[in-house]
Copies of this chain bind each other. A is one copy, B any other.
Amino acid sequence: MLNPADDSFADTLAAQLPPDSLRRTEPRHIEEPRGRWQGSSGWVALPRQTSEVATIVRACAKSKVGIVPYGGGTGLVGGQVAPKGAPLLLSLDRMTAIREIWPQENAMTVDAGAILVDVHAAAEGADRLFPLGLASQGSARIGGLLSTNAGGINTLRYGNARDLVLGLEAVLPDGQIWNGLKRLRKDNTGYDLRHLLIGAEGTLGVITAASLKLYPRPAAVGTAFFATPSPDTALGLLTLARSQLGDAIQAFELIHRQGLDFLAETLPDIRRPWSEPPDWCVLIEIGTGPGTDPAGLLETLFETALDNGLSEDGLIAQSEAQAQDFWTVREHIPEANRRIGAISSHDIALPLSAIPAFIPEATAALACIDRFRINCFGHLGDGNLHFNVFPVPGRTRADHADQSDAIKTCVHDLTHAMGGSVSAEHGIGRLKTGDLARYGDPAKLAAMRAIKGALDPHGIMNPGAVLPA
C-alpha cells in the first residue's frame, strides 16, 4: 500500500532540492489527448538534473510514495495520468539539453525531457537524421517516447524507438543512477537493461537521458499517393516496392476512403489528393542517395504496379510543397477522427499476410453488433493498423456507449486469434491493462511480475500502469 504525496511529504522533499522544484499540478498534467481520462491533482516535481531525479526517487522509495513519470503528456493509453492515491508527478520538462553530438559516430546524447522536434533540429544541424517521426513530435519528449517504445511513420526503414537507442541513463526504483550512456554498436556485457526499460512505461525506473543513433540524411526524397483496389493489392504493392526500392522505402501508409471522407467533412480546407477518392490508397515515401531521381523511381514503380493490377492511379509529388500537402492529408486523419468521435479506437498489429483477411472479417463481425463507419488506416509496412469504429451519420458515440466494450473485444479477439498484437505502438498504460491480462502469454506475464517485484518491491514506479497491483 502506497502513501500519498501529501503536503508534508512535499515539504520534506522540497527541503532536499533546489528552490521551486515542487509545484502543484497544472490542468495539463491531469489531462490526456483524447479527453477520456482525468488524473488526480497533487504535487509535481520538476528536477533540473539526474542527481535531483535520484533524490526524488530515493525520497519516494523511503516513504513508499508512488511516482508517475511525465514527459510530453501525449500518450494515448493513460500511462502518464496520475491515478487516485496522490502519487507524485515527476516531470522532465526542465531536462531538455542536447548534451553532445558526434556526427562521425552517427550518435547524440540528449536529456529525457528533450522534445522530439528539437532532437530532429539538432541532428539536422549536424547534417544527420534522427528518424523517429510521429504526429505528436512537437510536444512528445524523448523519455516518454522511449518509455513507450514509440513507433510512427518511419519504422519500416529505421525501426521502433527501441531500435534507435545506443545507451540509456536512468534512475532505478531504489534511487540508484544507472549510467548506461555508452554509444557502442556492440556491447555484450550482461543483461540488456536498456531494452527492459524501453517500453516499460516508467514502471521499472525513470529514463533521464539517452544516446541515440543518427543516420545520414537522404539526399533526395520522393513522395506519392497510389490508389489501390484492396488491402491485398496494397500488400502486393509493398512487396513490389521492396523488390524495386529495397531499404529506400521510409513510409508506406494505408488509407481507406473513409479517412478522406472524414477529412472532407471536418477539415474541408485540407487539400485532398482526389476529388473522388478511391476505396484504398497508400502514401509512399522513399529516401535515396546522391545522384538518384526518386520521382523517376516512383514512376517506374507505378508503371509496374499498373501492369500488375496493383494500382489504377498514382500521384507523384512534383515539389516539396506537394509532398508536404500529401503528408498533411495523412497527418490530419487523427484530428478528423477526433472531430467525428470514435466509439472505439484500436492500435493493432498483424502479421502482414493476415491483413487482407483481417479487414473484411473484422468489418463483418462488427456488422453483427450494429451499423458503423470504420476508418482503417495505418502503417501497412509494419503491419500496424489503426482500426477505428465510428457511428453512422445521425448518431453519436454516446448512442453506442453500451456497445464499446463489445466492439473492442470483437476487434481484439480477432486480432489475437490471427497472431496479432492489441497494442502495436501505443503501449499498455492504464487503458489496456485488462487486454494485457486477457491476451498476454501467461509465462510472460509471470516473468513480468517477477521482474517488477524484484526491481520495484514497493511498487512505487508508475503504480497501476502496465501491471496493476
Which chain A residues have a beta carbon within 8 Å of chain B's beta carbons? 102, 104-107, 148-149, 151, 155-156, 159-160, 162-163, 172, 174, 176-180, 182-193, 195-196, 198-200, 204, 216, 218, 235, 239, 242-248, 289-290, 349-353, 379, 381-384, 419-428, 432, 435-436, 439-448, 450-451, 453-455, 466-467
Contact check: which of B192, B349, B448 meets A195 at CB < 8 Å?
A: B192
A104 touching B184 in the complex, CB below 8 Å, given contacts A192-B162, A441-B179: no
Residues of B within 8 A of A443 (CB): 172, 176-179
State whether A191 touches B186 (Cβ < 8 A).
no
State whether B450 touches A384 (Cβ < 8 A).
no
Residues of B within 8 A of A428 (CB): 188-190
State whether A187 touches B104 (Cβ < 8 A).
no
Q: Can you list 21 pairs linking A and B with CB atoms under 8 Å apart?
A: A105-B383, A155-B186, A182-B420, A184-B421, A185-B382, A186-B382, A186-B421, A187-B349, A188-B421, A188-B423, A188-B428, A189-B422, A189-B435, A189-B436, A190-B467, A191-B200, A193-B448, A243-B290, A447-B455, A450-B454, A450-B455
Residues of B within 8 A of A102 (CB): 351-353
State whether B441 touches A105 (Cβ < 8 A).
no
Residues of B within 8 A of A149 (CB): 188, 192
Instruction: Known pairs A176-B446, A246-B289; list 14 more (Cβ under 8 Å).
Output: A162-B192, A162-B195, A172-B446, A178-B441, A183-B351, A183-B419, A184-B421, A184-B424, A186-B379, A186-B382, A187-B424, A188-B426, A190-B199, A190-B466
Minimum Cβ distance to chain B for residue A31 (Å): 22
State whether B105 touches A353 (Cβ < 8 A).
yes
Minimum Cβ distance to chain B for residue A319 (Å): 24
- Alpha-carbon separation in the docked complex, A170 to B235 (Å): 31
- Alpha-carbon separation in the docked complex, A97 to B381 (Å): 28
Minimum Cβ distance to chain B for residue A236 (Å): 9
A186 touching B384 in the complex, CB below 8 Å, given contacts A179-B441, A443-B177: yes
A191 touching B199 in the complex, CB below 8 Å, given contacts A102-B351, A104-B353, A185-B382: yes
